[in-house]
Structure 1
Amino acid sequence: MKNKGKGGKTRRRGKNDTEGDKRELTFKTEGQEYAYVTKMVGGSRLNAVSVKGENLLVHIRGSMRKKVWIVTGNLVLVSEREFEKPKEGAMRNVDLLVRYSDDEEAQLRKYGEIPDMRPKINEATTVDEADEDGIEFNADAESDDDDGPNSADAKHDDFNIDDI
């Protein structure tokens, strides 16, 4: 039996014991597919892109909530919800079955289950000209005529409070 030592639950949390984390590799079956997590939505849901390029709304099962840590970019195995019919124009609802570690993802690539290239998840967004509202900020330009209230050359004797 393993000696647990002294300390409470915070000591056990901080240890990061990964001795027995080797598990059997789970391959997809009919009705299941591999996907990459793109965004955490909240309410035990997340957005993902399947290996085929389809957008999915993934529901984290109750047995995995607060036990399996899922972040953007993880490879997951999802299954279709047979009791729900997909709505027109909406993302398909699927359930999360397995989150793969980096080692397991490399093994799946070696077996040819997933493609060698990962999809781009964090794409840079560009601002359209219609969204700018005509306001331009330029931090590099130096202004010579700084008449602001914090200016060293500001003259306050032109302003009289009694004139108001």
Structure 2
Amino acid sequence: MSENENGGRTDLRMPDDDEVFAVVTDMLGANRVQVRCADGQERTARIPGRMQKRIWIREDDVVLVEPWDWQDEKADISWRYEKSEADQLRREGHIE
């Protein structure tokens, strides 16, 4: 990861139309986590197979989730931010 000229700010992946920021609040096991979404909802989120072995998700991680169309209390995790990226999102006011 390289620091660039504008104060170490890196361009981060922002949510698409159907994604929201979320913070992992609890590990449920069986590739599921409890998340608190930026829209105020608590959801059960799935860790998809493509992320399971490559990306470790822990409590208090900032993630992007894609809520299910047919069941609003569930979602799929689509991205996990590194700690430095999450700090940058907080500084820029995207998440609390």
Q: TM-score range by the shorter chain?
A: 0.7 to 0.9
Q: For residues 11-160 of structure 1, what are the structure 2 equivalents within 5 Å?
A: 24-82=11-69, 85-86=70-71, 92-115=73-96
Q: In proportion to residue count, which structure has more strand?
A: 2
Q: What's the TM-score, normalizing by structure 2?
A: 0.80
Query: Residue deviations 1:90-116, cap 9 Å, x none?
Result: x7111101111111012112322112x
Structure 2: tracts of 5 or more residues without a match: 3-9
Deviation for aligned residue 1:28: 1.1
| Number of residue equivalences | 89
Q: What's the TM-score, normalizing by structure 1?
A: 0.49
Flag the 1:24–1:65 CA change in 2: closer, same or farther, 3 A. farther
User: Relative contact order (C-alpha < 8 Å, sep 6+): which is higher?
Assistant: 2
**Structure 1 segments (4+ residues) deviating >2 Å:** none
Between structure 1 and structure 2, the one with the greater Rg is 1
Distance 2:11 2:52 in 1: 21
Query: Residue deviations 1:3-45, cap 9 Å, x none?
Result: xxxxxxxxxxxxxxxx68xx85111121111111111111111
